[in-house]
Structure 1
């Protein structure tokens, strides 16, 4: 039960940070990079399958 709650909490926080990141592109006072990094952290910690998909991605391996 706690794992399911944590998963949904991370989805909600990650989605909210994604929206803030999108808004921060147009508003000069909001930190875009911070929201980008936090979004990546929360959405990658939802599941191991999503994390492995992201790290095995060709673009990720090329640029990171």
Structure 2
């Protein structure tokens, strides 16, 4: 949970700092937070934005 939150924070900060890879940090966030809990995974995959864009 801590690593997922930290990668989300770094991904958000990297929007303002061009050399940092934004997409990589957000993909790491998704990976870590989805593997931590089945409830969070179900919430994420049932989300309208996930179903539309992914």
Q: TM-score, normalised by structure 1?
A: 0.76
Q: Unaligned 5+ residue runs, structure 1?
A: 1-10
Runs of 4+ in 1 over 2 A off after TM superposition: none
Structure number, greater radius of gyration: 1
Aligned residues: 54
Q: Unaligned 5+ residue runs, structure 2?
A: none
Q: Does 1:59 align with 2:49?
A: yes
Q: TM-score, normalised by structure 2?
A: 0.88
Report the aligned-residue RMSD: 1.0
